[in-house]
Each structure stands twice: as C-alpha cells, then as structure tokens.
A and B are shown apart, each in its own frame.
Chain A
Amino acid sequence: MSDLIRRDPRKEWIARNRLHPQHQDVLAEQGGGTKAFEWMGPNGVMRKNPHAVGFIGPNGVRRIDRSGAQQAAQTPGRSAETKDTRQRITIDQPAFMVAVVPDMAGGRLSSHDRDLLGLARQLADADPSQPGAVLAVVFGEHKETAFGEAGADRLLHLEGERFSGYLPELKVATLQGIEREVAPRFWLLPDSTLGGGELGRRLAARLGERPAAQVWQVENASASPTGWRCTARGAAGRDDIIRALPRVVLALAECADPVSETRHAAEPISLSQGLPDVLGRIEDLGEVAVDPASVSLAEAEFILSAGNGVKEWEGYHHAAEVLGATKGASRVAVDDGYMPRDRQVGATGTWVSARVYVAVGISGAIQHLQGIQSCEKVVAVNLDEGCDMVKRADLAVIGDASAVLAALVKRVEQYRAEQQENRNAA
C-alpha cells in the first residue's frame, strides 16, 4: 500500500457539509468503520465527529475517552508500517577495534550484550575523525540476525562442533589468538556469572591485564592514559572505584544505552591463523537434571506460592513444574504439613525478592506481605476479593485456585507447543 494520501475534494466537501444527503455515507466510508467518527481531513489531519464517538456513561451522559484507547483498537493500521529510519553506517578502515564477547544466552544477544555493544560503540565512535570498529566475537551456534542493528561492525563467528559445551580454556586461547591478530584497543565482556564474567577474568589473567570488573559507567577523561575513565563497583557493591578504563572491561547491565539510531555492517571476518589446540583440563560431562524446587527461595525470580486456599496439591505441584516456578508457601500451608518449612515465605520465613510472585489461595497475613515487599510483580489468585493479598497484587484473579491453575497450565503448555512449532519451522 502506498503511503500517499489520495484526496477526493468532492467527498471532502460532502463530509464537511452536514446537510448534504450523502453526508453520512461519505463519513462512514472515510472513517473506514461502520460508524464514522474520524476521517482524514484535507491536509492529512485527522478530523473527528464528536457526536459519533464515545459511549453513554453511567449517568446517561455521553463520555468521550480521550486517552485514545477506544480509537486505537479501531483505527485501521495505517501507521503500522514505519519506515526504518536508522542510519546505515559502514566503517571500512577502522583506526582501531573494540572487541565485544557477548554471552549469547539462548543463542541470542541478551539485553546485557546489547548494552555492551552500545558501550563499545561509544568507545569506537568517540573521535569521528578516527572511527573505530566494533568487533563481536561469537562462539558456537546462534540464532541472532541483528548484530548490525545492535552495533557490530565486524562479526567473528567461531563455528563448529568444537565450540559447543563448556570450554573456557579453548575460548580463552581463541581470544588470545584474536588478541595477537586483531589487537583490539578494548575488550568488553558482560560481567555475568558463567559467561563474560568468567571468560573475561580468564582473558585478563592470560593477557596480564588488570581488568575493571563490575563497571557501570564509562566517561571520557582526557587525563586518563586510555582517554576514558570508568566507575566500577567494589567491596561487594559498597564502594565505587573510579579509575582509568583498562583494556579488559567487565561491565554490568545498563552500563550504556544499546544502539538504536544506527545500523552497522556486521561484516563477517575470520582469523587468518587456525585455532589453537588446547589440552583440555576441564571436561564437560553435560547438564544434570535438578529439581527446580531446590532453587532457594531467596534467589528465585519466579515463585508460585500456595496457601490455605489451595485444595488440590497435585495440581499446584504440577503447575509449578510446568511454569518452571520455584515453589513457595504461606505459613498455614507449611503448618498443615503440605509444604516443607524451608518453603515458607514471609517475615517468619524467607524474605523473597522475586520478579514475579504468584500467590495462590493466600489471603495475605501481614507477616507474609512483609516477606514479599521487594517482589516486583505480585499476582493473586483468590476467592476472596477483599483480602489483603488482592489489594497488594498487581494482578488479581478472583476465582477457584485449582481451576485457574489448571487453565494456566493449559495455556502455558499451548504456548510451549506453539514455540516448539515455530522453532521447528525456523
């Protein structure tokens, strides 16, 4: 469909002229819907017919919702197709390289990775006269297609069987090879457990560079030998250490904004020398199945917590497994012997800080509510609309716990199946 606005002066005239016999029809046609309340004016400006919009309020007065929620659902998707306005940038002759080794959790760039690439862009683009290039080093298989959008100029993809599994020694030897060949000005790695955090420290130790870990801010500083200054968390988060930016940087999430205005080439490169052979002293014997219920409550990010209102415990346990949630419980459920004591949430149990806390059949004693103070989102499933948990909840579903859980399990299973199909299709 063309984006050009085609005008019909006659129809516009009819639409303005309320006395015209075809007025209603033209309005309806221009509004695109059955009820004409909005149409494109002569200058491309939207016009509204206030008599046609709104709804009759509780006191019989017509009300117009100006938040746009009403219209949003009805306006035809005219603006849905936005043009990609991002500037395409190619750096052919970089003055230097900034290497980023993203975690690629789940085979895709995580938001942490994107922040790192954003930081790398800052470092690379600081001097427009001498632009640097951002090199993304990716190990193993991945599903990511948007390295360019995320800010990588070059992409070094180390493929093959050799790179699947836990191979920190091989990886660090490979990075060492890149160091020899490319000699990046900076190495940026996400300071995540079991990913960049580990690899970066190995790399730093191997290169003999003193890294800056837990970096959360990088600023220009002419006084510094590297031209940059960073702020890193120290002493388990109690201190900030401000120092010159070293060559190896382990940065925290949100250390910089991800790239959004520009698109980059992500031009694949390869190493001229072969990969080193490493005598592996660490052998990966594969993942071990572990009961998800064993995740400690205090660390869990998604908790499905059960209380007095849960009558079907089988269903609850099944739901927790399907959702992949850590199990929690109210004091009463523990006292009644349905759940072990270490699962108790609340002031007298464990203080939790989950991202999502789903309270099933928990009315919300004050001790319990204290224990979930630092949870981000609370979902309540309860029969009693007036209970304190419902008041606290960001989303409350009033209904029978077992029925809602069963429906939720069904919905999630359906979603999983869909995802599986998509994956298979892709």
Chain B
Amino acid sequence: MLDTLLPILLFSALLLAAIGAVRRVRLWRQGRPSSVPVIKGLMQVPRRYLVDLHHVVERDKYISHTHVATAGGFVLAALLAIVVHGFGLQSAILGWVLLAATTSMFIGSLLVAKRRSPPPSRLSKGPWMRLPKSLMAFSLGMFAVTLPTAGILPEGVFQSGLGWIAALVLAAVIVWGLGEMFFGMTWGGPMKHAFAGALHLAFHRRPERFSDGTGGEHRSTGLKALKLDDDNAKLGVEKPADFTWNQLLGFDACVQCGRCEAMCPAFAAGQPLNPKKLIQDMVVGMAGGSDAKYYGSPYPGKPVGEHEGHPHGPIVARQGTSLVDPETLWSCTTCRACVEECPMMIEHVDAIVDMRRFLTLEHGNTPNKGAEVLDNLIATDNPGGFDPDSRLHWAADLNLPLMADKQEADVLLWLGDGVFDMRNQRTLRAFISVLRAANVDFAVLGNEERDSGDVARRLGDEATFQTLARRNIQTLSRYRFARIVTCDPHSFHVLKNEYGELGTAQTPADYHVQHHSTYISELVSANKLTFKAWKGGSVTYHDPCYLGRYNGEYEAPRDVLKALGIEIKEMARSGYRSRCCGGGGGAPITDIPGKQRIPDMRMEDVRETGADLVAVGCPQCTAMLEGVVEPRAGIKDIAELVADALIIETPADQSPQRQQAPAAPRPALEVAS
C-alpha cells in the first residue's frame, strides 16, 4: 500500500508546494519593479549561502551545526525520497544514503528541540514550536519507510497484519512531515524561510554584499538615492506594495531567529521597535491581515493583535492605527546592528528609511524637533539653525588655511556641523594640533562647507539631502586634494558611500575619504608623531556605528590607542557588535520615549569593564555618552588623547606661520637616526 501511497503523497505535496510557490511569488511581485539578473542570481545561490550567509550563521556555533545537520539532511533526504519513493527506484545504496540523510536530519531536529526547551525570548513561539516535531516526523517517517528499501527490513513488511497498522501510522507521520516541509514551505509555515531565503539570496537588492571569490571587502551600506525628477511619483514607501519586489521577498525570508531583536538598542531601551516584528509586520502587510498570528516579542509597550494591514493599504495611518505606528519607525538609530546580525541578510534599515521618506516627504510628519531641524538644514545648511557664516568663529585663533585661498592641499579637513558645538570644538582643536604636529598640508572649506546631509537623509528628507550633497559636490569639485579627512563618522560615511551616486560626469563624487583615526594611524605608522608615555587610567573604546559596522574600520582606532601605549579593555559588545550610543539616524531629534536611554545602557557597558575613560571617535557618541549622569567614566575623542600625548619637537613647529619651514630638516633627522 505504501508503495502506491508514497508517490501520491510526495507528488501531491510537491504539486501543492508548486501552487503555493506561484502564489507566494505573486505576493512578492505586488512590489515595485526592480531589475535583477535572474539566471546569474540563481547560479550564485549556493556560493552566497555556503560562504557569505554561513559566515554570519557561524557566529552562533550551536545553531550553525544544527542547521548543517538539519538542512543538509533535509535537502538530501527530500531529493532522494523523490527519487526512491516517488519514482520507485529501488536501490539499496540510495536507500542507505537516504537513511543517513534522515538520521542527520533527525539529530539536527533533536538539537533544534533542545534549543527550544525552553525557547529564549528572542525566538518566536507558535508554529515555530512545532517545527522540531515536524522535522522529526519527516525524518523518522522517511527513515522508517526507507528501511525495506535499504534491505534492513524485509520487503512487504508493511503489508501484513501489524504492518498495515504500522503503515497507516507511518503514512500519517509522513503526511505531517511532508505537509510541514513541502506544503508549508510555500504556503507560509516556518519552512517558508528556506524557499524565500534561497530566492532572496539570488535576488538580493545589494548584491555587493556577497563575495565573488576575488576577495576584498564586501560591504554595501550606503542608502540608495530616491529619484526626485518625476513630479508625480510618490516618494518613499506608503504601503507594502510600494517596496520593490525583492525587498518584499527579503522580508518573507525572515526566520524569526530574533538575533536582530537581541542586538537592537532601541528594543533594549524599551522603545517601541523590534526589528523582527517590523519585518514580520511587512510580511503581514504583504499578505494582508492582522499581526495576531505573530508569536515573538512585541514592540515594547504595544500589544500584538491591534494592527492590521493590506498590500495596498497605508503602513502608517495619518490618524489611528494601521500596520505600524510611526513611533516604531522613528525609534531606529540606523545603527545597522540588526542588518549585521541577520543570517538572512535582510535590509531592515533600508526599509525603515524608505517608510520614513514617505512620512517626511509626503505626509510632512517628522516628529518632535525633526521638522525644525529639516527647516534649519534648508535655510541655514546646518541642523542647529546657526548663521552659516559663523562656521569658523570657533577657530578664529587657529588661523586655519582655507581651500578658497590655497586651491589645493593634501588633506581636505571636513569639519562637519560639530563646529557649532562647544564640546566638539575641543576635538577639532585637538585634531588640528595633531595635523600641525605632523606637518600635514591641510585646508578647510570654512564657510563653504555645508551639512553633509546625513541627518536629513536618515530622517527621510531625501530632497534636502540631495540638495546639500549636490552643493557640497559642487564646492568640492573646485579644489584639488588627495583625500578628505573628517572627525565625524557620519560625514565620513555619507561622503564616502553616498555621494558617489550623485556625482556627474563633470563633477565626479568619488572621494578618498578617511576617518581621523585612520589618518592618525597612518601618520603614526609613518613615524610622523611622537608620544609621551600613557599615564592615565584604564581605557575602553566605543566603536561608532558609522565607522565600524558601516565602514568596517575597527582596527585603526585601536592601533592608534595602542601606539599611545594604551591597553584597551574591550567591552563585551565591541567591534561589529558594538552597541549604538543612541545618537544616529536622527534618533535624538525624533526622540521617541522608551524605558531607559540608549547612552545610559552603553555607559553601563563601559562601567562593566571598569575603565576610567572611554575613547570615542564620533561627535554624536561624545555628546550622547557625555549626557549620561555622573559618576561615569570620562569621555575623550581619540584626537584629544593623541593631542594630549604629543611631543612637539620644537616649539616653533606649533606656530602656524612657520608651518612649512620645518618640513625640510625632518628627512635629514631621519637619515641621521
């Protein structure tokens, strides 16, 4: 009986899966068009999965091994089951392999079950709790029906008295297993991640994130520009169908593993954001319905089941509730911790900014001080609304060389809007003294500089960002410089990764941009700086998101600190897992209340290391961390630490008038030594 039943079951499950797949694809294709190389993408799935994705999964060894056993076992078992039981190929060897595959899958499912007893809070419950059992059902069922094929049990064992009952039980178990594994894969069970995930890897909207075997950095973090030339086009994402289809596909790939949730600073601070829930809400919106069937952690303070959406209904309602509340979108600090952690390489930040763009550009609903900041950026080119002609007032005594006078310099020092902030002026002064000590040929734009547009862009005001960026590009195109150095990782990121797209043939915007820590590190390696021995207390280092996760610069700041003779007491969360200070993405401007503040949590991380001082490399981080109530560790920018430790060889070096003069004797000294 099983011989006839199994093929029927298998093929009907496959057929249903195929129907489900078509239905799922149609759901995705509701999104806006986005052209992707279909064949090339599909061809790259194995590599992307086994190399790039595995690299992320591997951070959790346990689940990595579990997944290899389970998924590997399943893929093999499913293929062989179709061959052996579907087409009835009675090969003992294949039978043995199939047995091995199901065994591997079974062991994997035991590990899955173990991890879920009890499940950690970041994992979703509901149908996901059934998954280990379903995996076992499939593997055990397949194992049992394959025993005769492999010759372990006699042929026809399922046809006699007791065998009949066993056969019926087995058939039921296999129906369960097939239902979950084949039918559920495309109709929306936990196994959906396998189907959607594989295609998501193939048609990812940022193919640059995947390695191509030639080595090098595979990082793609700059936001994509919004086309503003069509007057009638809707700007940003209003409803789920306004996402591109491959974004929708990406949302569908989510495995609800909750790694993003565990890393999200806003979630930890009790702000109403949970990246996992947000992605699931997008899936709900794409299919239509309410979020009542979501079984993970909710947005803090917002019960599940009160929101619902539709592919062509608004995600954020002007009044009342819809799919997502605006506070959720404005809680994000764009720190990218979720994206960095996501084993499915889902782009949460892109989605959030897309929706913010609609809220700002079409609704005009940037919360709290957002509107004021954007108005200031439009009217005065800086978020504080200061007189743009007072950009250099803080440096009246420094005699900074202006690009307008020099036309050409080795280093263009991008000062950023920190020029209006008294705290940041200290950092800038420190860095300028470092540059002077190293006899660097540098110049600043002075009043010609404008805000880089970072804040405007994260607040969704793409129009203001593009205006600011184009004007900055225009200004920069007038001068010749080898590189741009800045103390602000946000300007750094925008200049390096987001201006390029806005450059034109006449005014290309591909600059060699460096963060000041990178540049100081270069100066140190070139022996341009000499330091006193470090006499301060213990120091830890806080990785700015826009320097670390966005641009992969983890080492240079640490090298500089090392060169100062500082041994860094690393925080538990550092490097790519560094916790955000809460200052990015316009979060201090939109200021969504939570249970605690993100910088307080970060200073708690610092406290745990027992360090007396946190070294930072970002004006936002400095401001946010210094805002934590004392007693707390001191906060100093790397430039300040370096400037404090400088040994300036001759006092004359410092005076700006004789800036160029000492350049000559230096090589002689080096030769002599």
Mark A residues whose CB is within 8 Å of B.
Answer: 308, 331-332, 335, 341, 347-348, 365-367, 369-370
Q: B414: shortest Cβ distance to chain A, in Å?
A: 21
Known: A331-B627, A332-B629, A347-B384. Contact between A367 and B368, CB under 8 A? no
Q: What is the chain A residue whose CB lies nearest that of B588?
A: A348
Query: CA of A308 to CA of B627 in the docked complex: distance in angstroms?
Result: 12
| Contacts of B551-592 to chain A: CB distance below 8 A | 588, 591
Q: What is the chain A residue whose CB lies nearest that of B426?
A: A366
Is B626 within 8 A of A365, CB to CB? Answer: yes
Q: What is the chain A residue whose CB lies nearest that of B600?
A: A335
Is A367 within 8 A of B591, CB to CB? Answer: no
Residues of A near B627 (CB, < 8 A) are: 331, 348, 365, 367
**B597 touches A (CB below 8 Å):** yes
**B406 touches A (CB below 8 Å):** no
Is B422 within 8 A of A366, CB to CB? Answer: yes
Known: A335-B597, A341-B368, A367-B623. Contact between A308 and B629, CB under 8 A? yes
Is A370 within 8 A of B588, CB to CB? Answer: no
Is B422 within 8 A of A370, CB to CB? Answer: yes
Query: CA of A151 to CA of B480 in the docked complex: distance in angstroms?
Result: 68
Is B423 within 8 A of A341, CB to CB? Answer: no
**B421 touches A (CB below 8 Å):** yes
9 A-B pairs within 8 Å (CB atoms) are namely A341-B368, A347-B421, A348-B588, A348-B627, A365-B626, A366-B626, A367-B623, A369-B422, A370-B422
Residues of A near B626 (CB, < 8 A) are: 365-366
Residues of A near B423 (CB, < 8 A) are: 366-367
Name which of A335, A347, A367, A369 has the most chain B CB atoms within 10 A of its CB.
Answer: A335
Residues of A near B384 (CB, < 8 A) are: 347
Known: A335-B597, A341-B368, A347-B384. Contact between A370 and B421, CB under 8 A? yes
| Contacts of B28-72 to chain A: CB distance below 8 A | none
Residues of A near B629 (CB, < 8 A) are: 308, 332
Name which of B422, B591, B626, B629 has the most chain A CB atoms within 10 A of its CB.
Answer: B629
Residues of B near A331 (CB, < 8 A) are: 627
Residues of B near A366 (CB, < 8 A) are: 422-423, 626
| Contacts of B569-627 to chain A: CB distance below 8 A | 588, 591, 593, 597, 623, 626-627
Q: What is the chain B residue whose CB lies nearest that of A348?
A: B588
Residues of B near A348 (CB, < 8 A) are: 588, 623, 627
Query: CA of A348 to CA of B627 in the docked complex: distance in angstroms?
Result: 10
- Size of the B side of the interface (Cβ < 8 Å), in residues, is 13
Residues of A near B588 (CB, < 8 A) are: 348
Residues of A near B591 (CB, < 8 A) are: 341
Residues of B near A341 (CB, < 8 A) are: 368, 591, 593
9 A-B pairs closest in CB distance: A366-B423, A366-B422, A332-B629, A335-B597, A370-B422, A331-B627, A341-B591, A348-B588, A308-B629
Query: CA of A341 to CA of B589 in the docked complex: distance in angstroms?
Result: 11
Residues of A near B422 (CB, < 8 A) are: 366, 369-370
Q: What is the chain A residue whose CB lies nearest that of B591?
A: A341
Q: B594: shortest Cβ distance to chain A, in Å?
A: 10
Q: A390: shortest Cβ distance to chain B, in Å?
A: 16
Query: CA of A129 to CA of B157 in the docked complex: distance in angstroms?
Result: 137
Residues of A near B597 (CB, < 8 A) are: 335
Residues of B near A367 (CB, < 8 A) are: 421, 423, 623, 627
| Contacts of B378-437 to chain A: CB distance below 8 A | 384, 421-423
Q: What is the chain B residue whose CB lies nearest that of A347?
A: B421
Q: B252: shortest Cβ distance to chain A, in Å?
A: 38
| Contacts of B191-221 to chain A: CB distance below 8 A | none
Q: What is the chain B residue whose CB lies nearest that of A308?
A: B629
Given A308-B629, A341-B591, 19 more A-B residue pairs with CB atoms under 8 Å apart are A331-B627, A332-B629, A335-B597, A341-B368, A341-B593, A347-B384, A347-B421, A348-B588, A348-B623, A365-B626, A365-B627, A366-B422, A366-B423, A366-B626, A367-B421, A367-B423, A367-B623, A370-B421, A370-B422
Query: CA of A277 to CA of B66 in the docked complex: distance in angstroms?
Result: 95
Residues of B near A365 (CB, < 8 A) are: 626-627
Residues of B near A347 (CB, < 8 A) are: 384, 421
Q: B221: shortest Cβ distance to chain A, in Å?
A: 26
Q: What is the chain B residue whose CB lies nearest that of A373?
A: B422
Query: CA of A341 to CA of B627 in the docked complex: distance in angstroms?
Result: 15
Q: A141: shortest Cβ distance to chain B, in Å?
A: 43
Query: CA of A62 to CA of B592 in the docked complex: distance in angstroms?
Result: 64
Q: What is the chain B residue whose CB lies nearest that of A337?
A: B593
Q: What is the chain A residue whose CB lies nearest that of B627?
A: A331
Q: B229: shortest Cβ distance to chain A, in Å?
A: 34
Query: CA of A369 to CA of B591 in the docked complex: distance in angstroms?
Result: 21
Residues of B near A335 (CB, < 8 A) are: 597
B628-658 Cβ-contact flags toward A at 8 Å (1 or 0): 0100000000000000000000000000000
Residues of B near A370 (CB, < 8 A) are: 421-422
Q: B397: shortest Cβ distance to chain A, in Å?
A: 19
Query: CA of A347 to CA of B623 in the docked complex: distance in angstroms?
Result: 10
Q: What is the chain B residue whose CB lies nearest that of A370?
A: B422
Q: What is the chain B residue whose CB lies nearest that of A336?
A: B629
Q: B551: shortest Cβ distance to chain A, in Å?
A: 26
Name which of A308, A332, A348 has the most chain B CB atoms within 10 A of its CB.
Answer: A348
Query: CA of A370 to CA of B385 in the docked complex: distance in angstroms?
Result: 14
Q: What is the chain A residue whose CB lies nearest that of B628?
A: A332
Query: CA of A369 to CA of B423 in the docked complex: distance in angstroms?
Result: 11
Residues of A near B368 (CB, < 8 A) are: 341
Query: CA of A365 to CA of B421 in the docked complex: distance in angstroms?
Result: 12
Query: CA of A367 to CA of B423 in the docked complex: distance in angstroms?
Result: 8
Q: A164: shortest Cβ distance to chain B, in Å?
A: 41
Residues of A near B593 (CB, < 8 A) are: 341
Q: What is the chain A residue whose CB lies nearest that of B597?
A: A335
Q: What is the chain A residue whose CB lies nearest that of B372?
A: A350
Residues of B near A332 (CB, < 8 A) are: 629
Query: CA of A368 to CA of B423 in the docked complex: distance in angstroms?
Result: 11
Query: CA of A366 to CA of B421 in the docked complex: distance in angstroms?
Result: 9
Q: A334: shortest Cβ distance to chain B, in Å?
A: 9
Query: CA of A291 to CA of B629 in the docked complex: distance in angstroms?
Result: 31
Query: CA of A348 to CA of B619 in the docked complex: distance in angstroms?
Result: 13
Query: CA of A308 to CA of B629 in the docked complex: distance in angstroms?
Result: 9
B84-95 Cβ-contact flags toward A at 8 Å (1 or 0): 000000000000
Q: What is the chain A residue whose CB lies nearest that of B384?
A: A347
Q: B272: shortest Cβ distance to chain A, in Å?
A: 16
| Contacts of B291-310 to chain A: CB distance below 8 A | none
Q: A343: shortest Cβ distance to chain B, in Å?
A: 13
Q: A359: shortest Cβ distance to chain B, in Å?
A: 16
Query: CA of A331 to CA of B368 in the docked complex: distance in angstroms?
Result: 15
Q: What is the chain A residue whose CB lies nearest that of B422?
A: A366
Q: B382: shortest Cβ distance to chain A, in Å?
A: 12
Q: What is the chain A residue whose CB lies nearest that of B423?
A: A366
Q: A150: shortest Cβ distance to chain B, in Å?
A: 40
Query: CA of A367 to CA of B625 in the docked complex: distance in angstroms?
Result: 12
Q: B593: shortest Cβ distance to chain A, in Å?
A: 8
Query: CA of A369 to CA of B422 in the docked complex: distance in angstroms?
Result: 10
Q: B429: shortest Cβ distance to chain A, in Å?
A: 14
Query: CA of A5 to CA of B588 in the docked complex: distance in angstroms?
Result: 73
